[in-house]
Amino acid sequence: MSKTDALKTIPEECQYSFFQHTKCEYFPCHKTDAPDDFNCLFCYCPLYALKDRCGGNFRYTESGIKDCSACMLPHNRKSYSYVVGKFKEIAEITRLDPKE
């Protein structure tokens, strides 16, 4: 696919939106029925910091820690646009308060 064609294509149809590291000791790091579609691109989920606004399948432990072990959202072949679409929210929570 040419660069021009890539600009006209949805990200999930482009190579840059999917990566698999099958030689990783933890691959796949989440239980899945579709290991061929397991996306390692967001190995550490950038949505973790969004707390309950991430949109994934998470729970909080008794001690208040977010547990994402049952979540496949960032590891789905078709989730690239969703994850990248949340970057503005991630940037907002990292913005410095001008009063500080």
> pTM of the prediction?
0.83
CA angle 53, 13, 91 (to 5 degrees): 30
Nearest residue to 40 (alpha-carbon basis) of 79, 68, 14: 79
Place of tokens 């990783």: 24
- pLDDT confidence tier of residue 42, bands split at 50, 70 and 90: very high
Query: What integer best gives the mean pLDDT of the chain?
Result: 91
Nearest residue to 12 (alpha-carbon basis) of 45, 34, 37: 37
Strands 66-67, 59-60: pairing kind: antiparallel
Q: Say if residue 6's pLDDT is above 80.
A: no
**Residues 9 and 1: beta-carbon distance below 8 Å:** yes
- pLDDT confidence tier of residue 96, bands split at 50, 70 and 90: confident
Question: In the chain, what percentage of residues exceed pLDDT 70?
Answer: 91
Which H or E run contains 89?
Answer: helix 87-94
Nearest residue to 90 (alpha-carbon basis) of 38, 30, 34, 48: 48
- pLDDT confidence tier of residue 10, bands split at 50, 70 and 90: confident
